[in-house]
């Protein structure tokens, strides 16, 4: 396993381009496929690309705010003290690895947006305090991103009355999907495998340490005795206290009225409220935000490119053609496994669970009904496939890489091997369900 990982790391470092160049290459591949397989003209493909380009603007802004507000929260004195206490428990690289993996995995399970920021920040703190190969621990922190927990959109949509496929498959409760016994067992198995895989990795002879020339001191300068009103208000506690209390009051109101729901918008408001309340004044908050903005540049530049790719995949009918080709060779026994694999492949080009489900989901569910496959297992096979190839899709790693200050090639060598291991575990689970029921 170590030898395979070493080869993977070397190949990725040598041949994998930057995340931006990779997005451009995927755009070119889909453009050509649209003309050759989809029978579209260049003008039509450019129209599909332009039509999809802006489709992720809202989601992209949400991801920028998740990263920014989470990063700003991490730079508060209270959270820094908590992180210091946690990292002090790790005196060896192995201890640092286990703590980072388990904590990140739990955070991802609760909410993937929260896990993305929390895992990156924890890995960064471990890299600062422990003599560990930094790309390795960042890869370990990202490895848990594939877990499908309470914030997984597809099972939640299917369990909601009046969803767009209710007339075809009805309502499938989460007790049969997310919280089924086999799915919980698979989740625990993946955590054990993730810990085992990264614990087996040997650090290279020349480890790469965290390149952290700047410290995280965001304290405002001491005011002069005769400071102006503008300087005084910038360093006053009242503006951040008021806005933080307002955000907290909103969250309390949502909880009291039963409308509280952990989604991206809620995570952003929680991070915002805590960051405002825990920073001393607007000056320190904005100084922390200035550090966070630079980490978001990958999201800002690349998310629209993937939206354009999704537009071409959908407009040219490539998703439908691919799904129908998979269905043509499927049997009742192989259908869940093929659903998992097909969702993983399409996810590489359309890295948005909700968007992919809206296009590919109805086709797969109709096939499941025709083959007599279990709808709950089909939904979860699709859900796991949608998350599985996130491991080698820089789209989802951009927030974590932004905080860590690394490029995709720094971590993808490890994650390719983890993709194969986790793929065997997940795919094997669906094969076992098909055989043994």
Residues 253-308: pLDDT tens digits? 999 998 887 777 888 899 999 999 999 889 889 988 988 888 888 888 888 999 99
| Token reading at 140 | 């370990």
Domain count, the chain: 1
Alpha carbon separation from 412 to 11, 18, 126, 142, 345 (Å, rounded): 10, 11, 20, 10, 17
* 201 in a structural domain: yes
* 214 in a structural domain: no
* 196 in a structural domain: yes
Four-CA torsion 26, 27, 30, 31, nearest 10 degrees: -150
* 224 in a structural domain: no
Separation between Cα atoms, residue 321 and residue 325, nearest integer Å? 6
* 220 in a structural domain: no
| Token reading at 425 | 């575990």
* 124 in a structural domain: yes
Count, residues in the chain: 437
Q: Looking up tokens 């965290």, which residue turns up?
A: 210
Kindly report the CA angle at 364 between 265 and 317, in degrees rounded to 5?
A: 85
Q: Is the dihedral of CA 48, 51, 53, 59 positive or negative?
A: negative
* 385 in a structural domain: yes
Residues 411-430: pLDDT tens digits? 999 999 999 999 999 999 99
Residue range of the domain that includes 89: 2-207+231-436
pLDDT tens track, the chain, 437 positions: 788 999 999 999 899 898 899 999 999 999 999 999 999 999 999 999 999 999 888 888 888 898 899 888 888 888 888 888 888 889 899 999 999 999 999 989 987 778 888 898 899 989 988 999 999 999 999 999 999 988 787 888 888 888 778 888 888 998 999 999 999 999 999 999 999 999 999 888 788 888 764 555 566 555 566 667 777 787 888 999 999 999 999 999 999 998 887 777 888 899 999 999 999 889 889 988 988 888 888 888 888 999 999 999 999 999 999 999 999 999 988 999 999 999 999 998 887 777 788 888 888 998 998 898 899 999 999 999 999 999 998 888 888 888 888 999 999 999 999 999 999 999 999 999 988 86
The pTM (predicted TM-score) of the whole model is: 0.86
* 41 in a structural domain: yes
| Token reading at 240 | 């951040």
Separation between Cα atoms, residue 336 and residue 384, nearest integer Å? 11
Separation between Cα atoms, residue 300 and residue 273, nearest integer Å? 24
pLDDT of residue 221: 56
Asked whether 330 and 372 are in contact (CB, 8 A), the reply is no
pLDDT of residue 118: 86
Q: Which 8-state DSSP code applies to residue 145?
A: G
pLDDT of residue 220: 58
């Amino acid at each position: 396993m170590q030898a395979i990982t070493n080869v993977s790391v070397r190949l990725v470092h040598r041949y994998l381009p930057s995340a931006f160049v990779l997005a451009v290459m995927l755009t070119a591949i889909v453009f050509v496929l649209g003309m050759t397989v989809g029978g579209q003209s260049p003008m039509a493909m450019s129209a599909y690309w332009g039509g999809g380009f802006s489709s992720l603007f809202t989601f992209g802004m949400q991801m920028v705010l998740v990263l920014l507000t989470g990063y700003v929260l991490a730079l508060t004195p209270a959270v820094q003290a908590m992180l210091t206490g946690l990292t002090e428990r790790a005196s060896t690289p192995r201890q640092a690895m286990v703590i980072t993996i388990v904590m990140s995995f739990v955070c991802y399970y609760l909410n993937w947006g929260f896990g993305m920021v929390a895992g990156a920040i924890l890995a960064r703190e471990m890299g600062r305090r422990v003599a560990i190969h930094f790309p390795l621990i960042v890869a370990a922190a990202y490895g848990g991103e594939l877990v499908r927990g309470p914030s997984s959109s597809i099972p939640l949509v299917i369990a909601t009355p009046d969803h767009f496929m209710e007339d075809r498959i009805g309502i499938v409760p989460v007790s049969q999907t997310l919280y089924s016994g086999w799915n919980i067992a698979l989740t625990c198995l993946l955590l054990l495998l993730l810990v085992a895989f990264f614990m087996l990795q040997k650090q290279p002879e020349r480890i790469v340490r965290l390149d952290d020339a700047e410290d995280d001191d965001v304290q405002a300068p001491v005011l002069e005795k005769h400071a102006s009103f503008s300087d005084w208000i910038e360093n006053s506690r009242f503006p951040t206290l008021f806005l933080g209390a307002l955000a907290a009051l909103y969250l309390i109101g949502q909880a009291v009225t039963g409308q509280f729901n952990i989604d991206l918008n809620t995570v952003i408001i929680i991070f915002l409220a805590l960051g405002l309340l825990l920073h001393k004044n607007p000056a320190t908050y904005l100084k922390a935000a200035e550090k966070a903005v630079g980490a978001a540049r990958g999201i800002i530049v690349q998310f629209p490119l993937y939206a354009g790719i999704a537009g071409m995949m959908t407009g040219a009918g490539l998703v439908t053609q691919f799904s129908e080709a998979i269905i043509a060779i499927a049997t009742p026994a192989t259908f869940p496994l093929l659903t998992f694999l097909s969702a993983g492949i399409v996810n590489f080009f359309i890295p948005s669970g909700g968007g992919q489900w809206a296009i590919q989901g109805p086709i797969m569910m109709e096939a499941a009904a025709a083959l007599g496959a279990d709808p709950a297992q089909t939904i979860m096979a699709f859900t796991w496939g949608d998350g599985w190839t996130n491991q080698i899709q820089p789209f989802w790693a951009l927030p974590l890489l932004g905080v860590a200050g690394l490029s995709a090639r720094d971590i993808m060598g490890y994650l390719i091997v983890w993709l194969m291991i986790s793929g065997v575990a997940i795919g094997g689970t669906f094969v076992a369900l098909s055989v043994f029921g």
